[in-house]
Structure 1
Amino acid sequence: MRLLLLLCWLLCLPMAQAQVRPFDDILASGVLKVAVYENFPPYSFQQDGQPRGVDVDLAGRLAEGLGLKLELLWVTPGEKLDDDLRNFIWKGHYLRPGVLADLMLRVPYDREFANRRNDVGELANEQVVMFGPYQRERWQVVHDTRRLPEVDTVAVFREHRIGVELDSVPSFYLSSVLNGQLRAKTEHYPSTAAAFTAMREGKVDAVMALRGELDWLQHGAADPQLRNADNAYPNLGQPAWDIGMAVHESNRQLANAVDGQLEELIESGALEKLYAGYGLRYELPGLYQDVQ
């Protein structure tokens, strides 16, 4: 009977509530908890058991600048960014009850998205502050010049096969642009790395993906015959966008402190060097381009 009562009591306990740590508590703890996406090279991944990636290194520099140690929270993306912000910044995930990050990286920095409202007119992410743009990202095509010397327009993919990650923006784009004329030559793979490998094996002549991912893969391949296409993508809604950070709306003091550290890293050129260490081109976010 005692065991039965104990089990009933445990089942009735509420799930542990995730608590947002105020800035003073973060400083007192000596630790900054930062959420980064797992298995997402070159941004955040593990290699030989060690955390690596530009976001991992940036998080470490930010924590160091605040006099704190870095604690990484490896997260998997949900179906929407709203899910990730809810799970890791303000509410918590049911698989990780009571666990929240102080700071989340690789959050699109977009005023329109930040001010988006739900069906009843309330801010959809009112419990989140999105700030600190630190990089401009864009879509890129890489082609093997041995089989495809030039990519003057995406129309060349009427005749040449191109690889994309399944269910990605390039996948939907190439399957629909030009009235679907490129669909038959668009090959789908489980990841950008798999599509890139297919290109190196001659199964496709080009790959379309995030520029950072392709820079990283090209850096590892060290093949001068693999080149970046320099062309526009007609009817692609957002070919480039800024990447930033997020904190809970009650933690603007942390956001201000991180912003100060970030500005120093950008203006000193340290962040550009960090990206170059992974073979990535670094493009300033719009906020900093506007003041140059």
Structure 2
Amino acid sequence: MRILVLLAVLTLSWAGAAQARYYDDVIASGVIHIGAYKDFPPYSFERDGAPVGVDIEIGQRIAEAFGVKMEVHWITPDESLEDDLRNNVWKGHYLDKDEKDPLAAKHLADVMMRVPYDREYAFKRDDQGLLVNDQVVLFGPYQRERWQVAFDSEKLDRVGTVAVFQYHPIGVEIDSLPDFYLTSAFGGRMRKNTHHYFSNSEAFAAMQAGEVDAVMGMRAEVDWQIGQAGNPRYKLAENGFPTMGKQQWDIGMAVSQRYRQLGNEVDVVVEKLIRSGEIEKIYARYNLRYELPGLYQDVAQ
């Protein structure tokens, strides 16, 4: 009896669980839901009430290639990427429920943008040896990202090494990799000069206000902020980050593992956008440097 009850519960849960959609269902509906992080310039944000940004424009190109309309599924970051994938791609958030079906979420993204395209992460296992990301497919790398330092040239002549921040204050987003790096590298000698902010944009604003002499963040974010500032006093450093480990990574997309065909079709579209130079043009419109992901660099070589 217990087995029958358990099977019934599992069957009910599976039937009612929130699902993304098959490729044919997306085409038939005339709409594709593109998942993008909220308030995350220059990748995805709102301007005058309309969604804009690099990831939004790529999503629009995908929709155009499919002959459907794009609707943005805004993602608010949770505690981890695993949470974001679960809440927005394959299961749904427990607070986002359909009133008619308490087991199903109202909203899921058909495709989620800005997910690390990383084999090690894709096959990450938990403490019991089980795959953490077995419910999603990570695919379609479309950009290589790096860490970048920007500095106020009226405070610093140059940044040839991060060791200069033993003597000059630098702003970082709290709990980010730059935060951990600058507070621990070189025996913690930069810790006292590492100032914490809720976002990279707040750190840059602090540099403009004279609170810090530099900022460290993702290259595209820093490029965007320098472009928005429009002041030649803010310059890009060319230093590396000794002992940091991975300093560059590829960005791709994610779909539910049940809808691999949708991912395959999106992958074809994005590859054409990369090879035609269209994605590089999108980045240029936001004053961002574009770097091919490793998959395409390897082919080019």
1:1-292 correspondence to structure 2 within 5 Å: 17-97=17-97, 98=105, 99-292=107-300
For 2:177 and 2:216, the matched residues in 1 are separated by 9
Q: Could you give the per-residue CA deviations for residues 68-102 of structure 1, whole angstroms, max 9, x where no partner exists?
A: 11011101111111111111111111122222111
Quote the residue 1:3 is aligned against: none
- Residue 135 of structure 1 aligns with an amino acid whose one-letter code is Q
Q: Could you give the per-residue CA deviations for residues 189-246 of structure 1, whole angstroms, max 9, x where no partner exists?
A: 1221111111112221110011111100111111122111111101112111000000
- Residue 174 of structure 2 aligns with an amino acid whose one-letter code is L
For 2:258 and 2:174, the matched residues in 1 are separated by 37
Aligned residue pairs total 280
For 1:129 and 1:103, the matched residues in 2 are separated by 10
SS at match of 1:132: strand
- Residue 245 of structure 2 aligns with an amino acid whose one-letter code is G
SS at match of 1:140: strand
Quote the residue 2:3 is aligned against: none
- Residue 93 of structure 1 aligns with an amino acid whose one-letter code is H
* TM superposition shift of 1:120: 3.1
- Residue 45 of structure 2 aligns with an amino acid whose one-letter code is F
Large movers: runs of 4+ above 4 Å: 13-16
For 2:116 and 2:96, the matched residues in 1 are separated by 24
For 1:120 and 1:235, the matched residues in 2 are separated by 30
Report the RMSD for the aligned CA atoms in angstroms. Answer: 1.5
SS at match of 2:299: coil
For 1:241 and 1:219, the matched residues in 2 are separated by 23
For 1:40 and 1:291, the matched residues in 2 are separated by 31
Q: What TM-score does the superposition give when structure 1 sets the normalisation length? A: 0.93
- Residue 275 of structure 1 aligns with an amino acid whose one-letter code is Y
For 2:22 and 2:202, the matched residues in 1 are separated by 42
Q: Could you give the per-residue CA deviations for residues 157-196 of structure 1, whole angstroms, max 9, x where no partner exists?
A: 0111111111211111101111100011111112211111
SS at match of 1:261: helix
For 1:126 and 1:69, the matched residues in 2 are separated by 29
- Residue 201 of structure 2 aligns with an amino acid whose one-letter code is A
SS at match of 1:290: helix
- Residue 167 of structure 1 aligns with an amino acid whose one-letter code is D
For 1:119 and 1:221, the matched residues in 2 are separated by 46
- Residue 154 of structure 2 aligns with an amino acid whose one-letter code is R
Q: Which moved more, 1:242-251 or 1:15-24?
A: 15-24
For 1:220 and 1:185, the matched residues in 2 are separated by 26
Question: What are structure 1's unaligned runs of at least 5 residues?
Answer: 1-12
Question: What are structure 2's unaligned runs of at least 5 residues?
Answer: 1-11, 98-104
* TM superposition shift of 1:16: 5.8
For 1:26 and 1:50, the matched residues in 2 are separated by 23
SS at match of 1:176: helix
SS at match of 1:242: strand
- Residue 17 of structure 2 aligns with an amino acid whose one-letter code is Q
